[in-house]
Structure 1
Amino acid sequence: MKMDQSGILRAIGYMRVSTDEQGDSGAGLAAQRAVVEAECARRGWTLVEVIEDVASGKTLDRPGMTRALGLLDARQADVLIAAKVDRISRSTLDFATLLDRAQRSRWALNVLDIGADLTTPAGEMFAQIVAVIAQYERRLIGQRTRDALAIRKAAGVQLGTVFRIPGEVVFRIAADYAAGAGLTAIARNLTAEGIPTARGGTEWRASTVQAVIRRVAENTADHE
């Protein structure tokens, strides 16, 4: 990464709210800015610009994000920093794509709530885990497509709904486990937040969390 003449990393702060989010909430622009500014001060980084979007997080196609990525690719900054991963994207696939772009273009991404910091070796390893999870989600999408086609070919026979764990939930479980959270604690938190299980239920068990982690580990081994 290229730094300024003093050897200090140059950061772009990125903030986003959707049109239906309250500005005074924990995800508000002011709250995100405060977290980003504090981290830049702590790390001794130069915050060269703060870019804001009022847009959906479903894709990366937003004016502010487009501008930020253009500056980073042009080597006008070294780091894109955001307070929370869902401010960057709500899609695991898009987030993995962004990590890949950062590595190819030789700039770093730092997302504070999940510890995704590509300025460190641990962050680079984290990026590899995200890539595996994204591949897992791609396979699930392919499976859903095949399931839908099979239902259409069943000549009106109702085969039922196939439930899957969304990629972002798999991503969260793997990240929490990597950060040291126990299986029971992860299950308890998912249950408390009302996140649906693979079968559409509301109660998570440690054994289910363990199965998700095992699947991620198997996919990681497949890609080594």
Structure 2
Amino acid sequence: MKQYVVYTRVSTEEQGKSGLGLEAQERDIDVFLTSFSEEPFEVLERFQDVLSGGTDDRPQLAKALKRVRSTGAELLVSKLDRLSRKVSFIATLMDDKAVKLRVASMPFADKFQLHIYAALAEQERTFISERTKAALKAAKANGKRLGGLRDKTMKRNEAIQAKAHAEAEKVMKVIGPLRQAGATLASIASTLNETGIPTSRGGSWTPTQVSRVLERVAQ
């Protein structure tokens, strides 16, 4: 019988009390168990932390990992960032031969694919942070608020284009090597979908969308 130890995490005490964020995690886990798990299965125990994803010292996760190591069960989380937002932490965990990890939202992803996803997510957070700092610095130097509907529209369009380019650069970390290795657009799209990397709108990849990313980066 397949055995799981479920781990969930929310970022603040308020979320823990109100259940915000937990419902979505439990839904993803239930979908995985119902549609993707081997049969029969058993959930041995559930653990939950109410702490930031940037904090590695999480008592409930430690207990969950201890249970996993002692039973041989798989650690089941809804998304990879529920474990940590740090690639180093996730990589160390995946190197532990006594820990089997399963991510509900990416049911077929192997360790290599999970590592790529974690690295891309960390790069995106770093970019967003730097972009925010740059925007605040520019606004402060400008010393005035943007005025008029046209200015707001132009700024919004520029932000959309910047976001699209940043997302293209991010996913190129995966597309680029595959393309250089001779992979077709269709096979690259299939790999991205299997890895669980969504498009900019949260959908599935098609060969046309892969081609657009290559064109955007080339420009």
Shorter-chain TM band: 0.5 to 0.7
TM-score (norm: length of structure 2): 0.53
Q: Does 2:55 match 1:59?
A: yes
> What does the per-residue CA deviation read over 1:108-159, in whole Å, with 9 as the maximum and x for residues that have no partner?
212223x1x4xx4x4234135257x38xxxxxxxxxxxxxxxxxxxxxxxxx
1:66 is displaced (CA, Å) by 0.5
- Give distance in 2, aligned partners of 1:215 and 1:35: 27
Q: Secondary structure at the match of 1:209?
A: helix
Q: Does 2:14 match 1:18?
A: no
Q: Classify 1:32/1:211 alpha carbon distance in 2 versus 1 (closer, same or farther; 3 Å).
A: closer
Alignment match, 2:111: 124
1:214 is displaced (CA, Å) by 3.7
1:67 is displaced (CA, Å) by 0.8
Q: Classify 1:199/1:208 alpha carbon distance in 2 versus 1 (closer, same or farther; 3 Å).
A: farther
Q: Which has the larger radius of gyration?
A: 2
- Give distance in 2, aligned partners of 1:219 and 1:96: 21
**Structure 1: stretches of 5+ with no match in the other structure:** 1-7, 135-165, 172-189
Alignment match, 1:148: none
- Give distance in 1, aligned partners of 2:33 and 2:61: 19
TM-score (norm: length of structure 1): 0.52
Structure 1: which amino acid aligns with 2:67? L
Q: Does 2:167 match 1:212?
A: no
**Structure 2: stretches of 5+ with no match in the other structure:** 136-158, 181-219
Q: Classify 1:63/1:208 alpha carbon distance in 2 versus 1 (closer, same or farther; 3 Å).
A: closer
CA RMSD, aligned part only?
3.6
Alignment match, 2:78: 83
- Give distance in 2, aligned partners of 1:126 and 1:110: 12
1:198 is displaced (CA, Å) by 8.7
Query: Which structure is richer in relative contact order (CA contacts within 8 A, separation 6 or more)?
Result: 2
